[in-house]
Amino acid sequence: MTRLVLVGPPGAGKGTQAAALSEQLRIPHISTGDLFRAHVGQETPLGQEAKRYLDSGELVPDSVTNEMVRERLAEPDAKAGFLLDGFPRNTKQAEVLGEMLAAADTKLDAVIQLDVAEDVVVGRLMSRGRSDDTEEVIRRRQQVYVSETAPLLEYYAEILVKVDGVGEVQEISDRVLEALRDRT
């Protein structure tokens, strides 16, 4: 299983787990945040468009995000597999991802849900000490996740792998790998 999507609320540890799993599975970790930063830094047309939204604190539109992901999945290192982190973030993006993969005559192998209680992620994010990590802002991000991203859990129900996202990094990675092995 090498074509994976990682989902979970902000503070669930997706980035940390994606980096660890990418290394262990030898597949690229494709993060929308990294794609945004790369495109903005290289001042590509997509990056310039994304920057307008990022600078004003708005979400980058699906059309821009979808195109960045489409380009990244077409790169040679993603042919044998990938781990998506931060994409898809809603069911419309999931439909576009399905179309991208179908065009390449492939499909997702699994969607990994890092399951972490809201109070735990709020505590994790508050402990980072960032100025924008107030409890009110963090709880608002959790609400956005529930309304926009959580519907992906139902959309991907047939390939969803739910994993307890609380514990040490390696412990959680081991749970994910074990759950993936159990699916084969």
pLDDT tens for each residue of 166-175 = 999 999 999 9
Could you report the per-residue pLDDT of 141-167, keeping only the tens digit for each? 888 888 988 899 999 999 999 999 999
B/e letters for 134-173, b = 16+ CB within 10 Å, e = fewer, are eeeebeebbeebeeebbebeebbeebbbebebbeeeeebb
Question: CA dihedral in degrees (159, 140, 41, 80; nearest 10)?
Answer: -10
3-state secondary structure of 38: helix
Residue 129 Cα to chain centre, angstroms? 23
Q: Which fold has domain 3-176?
A: Rossmann fold (3.40.50)
pTM, full prediction? 0.91
Which pLDDT score, from 0 to 100, does residue 56 have?
84
**Nearest-angstrom CA–CA distance, 40 and 27:** 24
Between residues 123 and 4, the one the model is more confident about = 4
Reported confidence tier of residue 184, pLDDT bands at 50, 70, 90: low
Sheet holding 29-31, edge to edge: 29-31, 82-85, 3-7, 110-115, 160-164
Domain ranges of the chain: 3-176
